[in-house]
A = this chain, B = another copy of it.
């Protein structure tokens, strides 16, 4: 356990680092400027050598400063240099849908090739996961469940549900354990929601671009998908949603509210409140996929649409697949007024979920290990995202646009319209680099010049070189 003194120390160096970052971004300290020496820092802030050094390490990790041998630290980057963000998407809606299966299968097949630098997979690299501590939690779970060989409750393991409910307080969720149904991962939660609430031929509304797994699931169930205009910062356009609802065709809405995959957007509180009001007005259920909400780079966990849900119309879904253990298949849904339906669907399709992994995650959360782990993970991913931003601005064609996500794993890159990202993908694979081409994220003919990059990798020279190569390949296509 960390002592209070060490925790205070941590806060100090982060405060100093944030302070300097702010000055760099506002050009109070300019590119190329030399920063005070460690000794000067200690004097100036009244802190230890270690705190001063830590502060510089943080800034170095984000790619904002660099150390020059026998000289000191210099500002080498500022977010003024960030590439521009893409505009709000203007999705088309035609009933004639494109075949995304081929490219998705191609990308999936490459994922198995472990030697590639893989920007295609939206999960943290194994090195970022607390494997040893999770193993302990599993061993503990085996003991406390006496093996976990018996069927668990259909609604799900109680310890897990209690911890998810407790965690909901960080986003104003007011859930209790009885409000939650466990699932085998978040896609399984979305599947249960769709199986419970819509039928073949129904139309659902989603953001555009949207995670391809959602499109494939919807198509396999015979659903029509309406893709809505979405802003890379603030998420789905409220006006677009309103218009879709007014047509009365929409039977259900599915949104990734926080650090959307693939756009990286995070809906502001006001938008979330507004969306819930609209859902209530038109009596349309909202599936809220909140898979990335815990991985925020700012000071606070973003709220959810569920935060503003008084009538139970929001089905809030999540999992630990993006933060702890994809292979455990532990997810959940707080289905509001649709709880009984969801429990039935779960019973019909899978009886119950694996007891032992649920208990292990419940245990991990109960002991505060999750919060400790997340603090490190967020910091690492935040640094990674800034390194990517720097590399894209340095190596990619100058008219490249990229989303500025404030959390999650994923950047959305918009290249010059002349560049077809499937062709770029094919060139990249020859260089042992993989990413997700933009056309995977829509059923319409669009986003052919876009791509999704995951920054959930361990940052190192190989990754920087891969981004450099990708930039060079893109330039070559102009």
| A-to-B contact residues, CB < 8 Å | 123, 126, 129, 131-132, 134-135, 138-139, 142, 145-152, 184-185, 187-188, 191, 195, 199-200, 213, 216-217, 220, 222, 321, 324-329, 344-345, 347-357
Among residues of B, the one whose C-beta sits closest to the C-beta of A218 is B348
Q: Quick one: copies of this chain in the complex?
A: 2
CB distance from A167 to the nearest CB of B (A): 20
> What B residues does A184 contact at CB under 8 A?
184, 329, 350, 353-354
- Report the nearest B residue to A319, measured CB to CB: B351
Distance in angstroms from A120 CB to nearest chain B CB is 13
Q: How far is A217 from B351 in the complex, measured between Cα atoms in Å?
A: 11
A-B contact pairs, 24 of them (CB 8 A): A123-B151, A126-B149, A129-B149, A131-B146, A132-B147, A145-B327, A147-B325, A148-B325, A149-B324, A149-B327, A184-B350, A187-B348, A187-B350, A187-B351, A191-B350, A199-B222, A213-B347, A216-B347, A220-B345, A326-B351, A327-B354, A329-B351, A349-B349, A356-B357
Complex Cα distance A222/B201, Å?
Answer: 13
Structural contact, B185 and A350, CB atoms closer than 8 A: yes
Majority secondary structure, A binding face: helix
Q: Return A291 CB to nearest CB of chain B, in Å.
A: 12
A126 to B357, CA, bound (A): 19
B126, B147, B188, B328: the one within 8 Å of A131 (CB) = B147
Instruction: Decide: A326 and B150 in contact? CB cutoff 8 A.
Output: yes
A185 cross-chain contacts in B, Cβ below 8 A: 350-351
The distance in angstroms between the C-alpha atoms of A188 and B149, with both chains bound, is 17
Of all chain B residues, which has the CB nearest A344? B220
